[in-house]
């Protein structure tokens, strides 16, 4: 079995479904996790899906991912726009990182246009709601496949 993909979610994403549905939609995080599981099965990947409201926990999970997970899909929520600590942790990771946001952060308030995650990520998917996680997993599968052939 190849190493699993770690899918990390930051603050307030536990309240998807009730949180600003006009921006984030009505899907819950559990709905997204289920769709990701289905996509992972189809791609022959294993995934581990987690959420935390704490910056320190996200940093620790990213640190611990080194050597254990084949890749990281990260929606750091608001920490995207504030956290040098998450950026530094991502720089320690040698595996591919894909940044995800449900909303199109570039169509929103200017403070959301800057991401500390982006310079440490292979790519960024935003604006497609929960489906963005499935797109990220598909992109991750391609990256891992082409890396395996090198
Ligand atoms: C978000 C966008 C962030 O700006 C915001 O703070 C979030 C969610 C998204 O998925 O669209 O919490 O990461």
Beta carbons of 4 and 71 less than 8 angstroms apart: no
Task: Please report the pLDDT score of residue 148 as a whole number.
Answer: 87
* pLDDT one-digit tens code per residue, 10-43: 999 999 999 999 999 999 999 999 999 999 999 9
Work out the pLDDT band at 96, boundaries 50, 70, 90: very high
* pLDDT one-digit tens code per residue, 122-138: 999 999 999 999 999 99
Pocket of ligand 1 (CB under 6 A): 12, 75, 77-78, 80, 101-103, 105, 112
- Which has the closest alpha carbon to 5: 43, 31, 58? 43
Regarding pTM above 0.95, the answer is: yes
Task: Please report the pLDDT score of residue 150 as a whole number.
Answer: 80
CA nearest ligand 1 atom 9, residue: 101
Q: Which residues are catalytic?
A: 24, 101
Cβ neighbors of 20 (< 8 A, separation 6 or more) are none
Average pLDDT over residues 86-94: 97
The token pair at 16 is 């998807």
Q: Which atom of ligand 1 is nearest to the CA of 76?
A: 13
Cβ neighbors of 83 (< 8 A, separation 6 or more) are 55, 58, 76, 116
CA nearest ligand 1 atom 10, residue: 101
> Is residue 74 over pLDDT 90?
yes
Q: Which atom of ligand 1 is nearest to the CA of 10?
A: 12
The token pair at 137 is 């997993």
Q: Which atom of ligand 1 is nearest to the CA of 23?
A: 11
Beta carbons of 79 and 58 less than 8 angstroms apart: yes
Distance 133 CA to ligand 1 centre (A): 13
- In CATH, the architecture of 5-148 is 3-Layer(aba) Sandwich (3.40)
Average pLDDT, the chain: 97
CA nearest ligand 1 atom 1, residue: 77
Task: Please report the pLDDT score of residue 1 as a whole number.
Answer: 62
**Distance of alpha carbon 67 from alpha carbon 56, whole angstroms:** 20
Place of tokens 């040098």: 84
The token pair at 11 is 């603050």
* pLDDT one-digit tens code per residue, 104-121: 999 999 999 999 999 999
Task: Please report the pLDDT score of residue 50 as a whole number.
Answer: 98
């Amino acid at each position: 079995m190849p190493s699993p993909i770690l899918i990390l979610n930051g603050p307030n994403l536990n309240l998807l479904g009730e949180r600003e549905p006009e921006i984030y939609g009505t899907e819950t995080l559990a709905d997204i996790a289920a769709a990701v599981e289905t996509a992972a099965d189809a791609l022959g990947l294993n995934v581990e899906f987690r959420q935390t409201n704490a910056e320190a926990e996200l940093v620790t999970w990213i640190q611990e991912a080194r050597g254990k997970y084949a890749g990281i899909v990260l929606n750091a929520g608001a920490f995207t726009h504030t956290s040098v600590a998450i950026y530094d942790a991502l720089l320690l990771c040698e595996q591919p990182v894909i940044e995800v946001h449900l909303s199109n952060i570039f169509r929103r308030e200017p403070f959301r246009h800057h991401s500390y995650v982006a310079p440490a990520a292979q790519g960024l998917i935003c604006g497609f709601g929960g489906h963005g996680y499935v797109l990220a997993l598909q992109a991750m599968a391609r990256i891992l496949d082409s890396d395996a052939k090198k």
